[in-house]
C-alpha cells in the first residue's frame, strides 16, 4: 500500500522532537490528536522510548495510520484509536497530549470541544503541546501565513489560522498555563502548556 505522505511532517519532525524531548521528559502516555499520516507518531514513539504514544484521528484516517505502523512497528507505539473531538475521548490514563496542524483545520467549535475534553475527561493530562501556525492578536506573523490562511478560507470558511491568545485562553479555562512559546521553522510555533 502506498501511504499518504506529508513533506511538511518530514521537515518539522526533528525540530518538534527537540521540544518534545524536554516537554515530555516526565510524561508516560501521550495521546496524539489528529495523527494524519502517522509520520509524527512513528517518529516520536521511536525517539521517545520512555513513553507510550497513542495516535488517534477521525475514522477515515485510521487505515493509513494503521498501515504505516505495520510497516514501521515501534514497541511503544499503539494502534490508532478513532477520535473525532466531537465524540467521547479515548479511555486511558494519558498524562500528555500532542496535536499538530489541527487548530486551523478544525472549525473553532472543534477546537473548543478538544479543550472541553481536557477539562472534563482527559483530566490526567498535565502537559499539552500544540504545534502549528498561529496569529498574534489578530495579526499574521508572516506573509506566508497570511497566504495560507486565505487559501484555507477559500477551501472552507470554517478553517483558518487561530489567534494564539485564543488558544491560551481556552487552555487557561481548563487549568493550563503557557510555559513556552517555541518559535519553529517556517513560521510555526509550538505552544507548550502544563497544569
Ligand X SMILES: C[S@@+](CC[C@H](N)C(=O)[O-])C[C@H]1O[C@@H](n2cnc3c(N)ncnc32)[C@H](O)[C@@H]1O
Beta-carbon contacts of residue 46 (< 8 Å; ≥ 6 apart)? 74, 77
Interaction residues for ligand X, span 76-115 (CB under 6 A): 83-86, 100-102, 105-106, 110
**19 touches ligand X by CB under 6 A:** no
Compute the distance between CA of residue 189 and CA of residue 183 in angstroms, rounded to an integer. 5
Closest residue to bound ligand X by CB: 36
The nearer residue to ligand X, 26 or 46, going by C-beta atoms, is 46
Helix spans in the chain (H) = 7-23, 39-47, 62-71, 108-120, 143-155, 164-173
Here the cell at position 62 is: 485510521
| # residues contacting ligand X (CB under 6 A) | 20
**5 touches ligand X by CB under 6 A:** no
Compute the distance between CA of residue 141 and CA of residue 69 in angstroms, rounded to an integer. 35
Interaction residues for ligand X, span 27-86 (CB under 6 A): 33-36, 40, 57-58, 61, 83-86
Residues of the shown chain interacting with ligand X in the complex, contacts defined by CB under 6 A: 6, 9, 33-36, 40, 57-58, 61, 83-86, 100-102, 105-106, 110
Amino acid at each position: 500500500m502506498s501511504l499518504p505522505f506529508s513533506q511538511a511532517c518530514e521537515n518539522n519532525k526533528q525540530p518538534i522532537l527537540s521540544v518534545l524531548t524536554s516537554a515530555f521528559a516526565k510524561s508516560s502516555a501521550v495521546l496524539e490528536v489528529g495523527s494524519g499520516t502517522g509520520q509524527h507518531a512513528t517518529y516520536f514513539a521511536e525517539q521517545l522510548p520512555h513513553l507510550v504514544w497513542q495516535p488517534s484521528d477521525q475514522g477515515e484516517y485510521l487505515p493509513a495510520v494503521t498501515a504505516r505502523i505495520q510497516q514501521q512497528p515501534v514497541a511503544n507505539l499503539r494502534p490508532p484509536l478513532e477520535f473525532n473531538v466531537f465524540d467521547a475521548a479515548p479511555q486511558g490514563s494519558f498524562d500528555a497530549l500532542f496535536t499538530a496542524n489541527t487548530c486551523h483545520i478544525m472549525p473553532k467549535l472543534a477546537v473548543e470541544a478538544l479543550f472541553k475534553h481536557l477539562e472534563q475527561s482527559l483530566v490526567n493530562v498535565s502537559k499539552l503541546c500544540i504545534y502549528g501556525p498561529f496569529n498574534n492578536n489578530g495579526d499574521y506573523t508572516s506573509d506566508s501565513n497570511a497566504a495560507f490562511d486565505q487559501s484555507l478560507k477559500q477551501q472552507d470558511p470554517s478553517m483558518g489560522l487561530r489567534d494564539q491568545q485564543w488558544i491560551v485562553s481556552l487552555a487557561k479555562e481548563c487549568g493550563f498555563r503557557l510555559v513556552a512559546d517555541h518559535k519553529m521553522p517556517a513560521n510555526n510555533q509550538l505552544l507548550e502548556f502544563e497544569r
